[in-house]
Structure 1
């Protein structure tokens, strides 16, 4: 059976937390992630997922907004695919599905952030046609 790409039902959002923990090396507790995702799912947020049969193996949060410089856009966030599924073209297939999905929703552009030390993601996004236009800054309050 081929991989299944879809938007996870809001009621199942907690299913993605173990993969987000792996991505962030458990730097944020499960309880905090649970609270944050329960709030996020009621904002302009959806989460695309990959299933291998019934097993959740990949995630990509999608933030929708309209920006003055790029129109209706989407920001992929916390993209993660389980280690044993990497290097097989699955990320490319997943993003192809995401591109089609967000185009159907009227998006004109995609922009994203990636960790400065995540070199594999840099190569992937370059190969997908993304360009670097700036820096991401964060200040904790």
Structure 2
């Protein structure tokens, strides 16, 4: 079981610090809202998650999200000042559930997968959702991503429906 985070205020950002074991080496992980300085590393991770989309398009789309959508925040997991995981969070309201937080683009660098980093990010987002008064957390996951499905089930997420997509044009460009 992972320890509870120590939370401290840093300017306007809330920072979560965790200690946990990865293999036999102690690793310190900090979860915080991403800053503009984190953009290059963030884009690399998002491009890894979306291999059919050129990295420049990933960068443009992510910059658009950050600049045009005030109800979106991006969180990063850092180990030794290195970005090892990313998750976005959309805050919105729907008729059926009220205020909710949607987890978006959760990705962990391959060498830190199955080490607890994804759990830390999701727990941090759950804490943020509770602070904001959200009723539920939601997320989408690629059908083929069974390792992430096991994580989501373990953390209490349930499959409640289908996500239908109809492409109107080539979304990779």
TM-score by length of 1: 0.91
Distance 1:50 1:116, change over 3 A: same
Could you tell me which residue of structure 2 aligns to residue 49 of structure 1?
A: 76
For residue 115 of structure 2, what is the aligned residue in structure 1? 88
SS at match of 1:69: coil
Judge conservation of contact 2:85–2:117 (CA < 8 Å) in 1: no
- The answer to whether residue 29 in structure 2 is matched with residue 3 in structure 1 is yes
Alignment of 1:28-39 (within 5 A): 28-39=53-64
TM-fit CA distance, 1:12? 4.0
Residue 31 of structure 2 aligns to a residue whose secondary structure is strand
Q: 2:93 aligns with which of 55, 62, 66?
A: 66
Contact 1:58 1:80 survives alignment (8 Å): yes
Which contiguous aligned blocks of 4+ residues in structure 1 show a shift greater than 2 angstroms?
9-15
Pick closer, same or farther for the CA change 1:58–1:86 going to 2, 3 Å. Answer: same
More deviation in 95-104 or 55-64?
95-104
Could you list the runs of 5+ residues in structure 2 that have no partner in the other structure? 1-26, 169-173
Which shows bigger deviation, 88-97 or 129-138?
Answer: 88-97
Contact 2:77 2:86 in 1 (8 A): yes
Among candidates 96, 103, 124, match of residue 76 of structure 1: 103
How far off is 1:61 after superposition?
1.1
1:90 Cα offset (Å): 2.2
Does 83-92 or 4-13 show the bigger shift?
A: 4-13
| Matched residue count | 140
Which residue of the partner structure matches residue 143 of structure 2?
116
CA contact (8 A) 1:16 1:59 kept: yes
Q: From the two aligned structures, give the one with the greater helix fraction.
A: 1
CA distance in structure 2 between the partners assigned to 1:82 and 1:32 by the alignment: 20
| 2:77 and 2:117 in contact (8 A); partners too | no
Bigger RCO (CA 8 Å, 6+ sep): 1
Match of 2:4 in 1: none
C-alpha contact (below 8 Å) 1:14/1:37 kept by paired residues = no
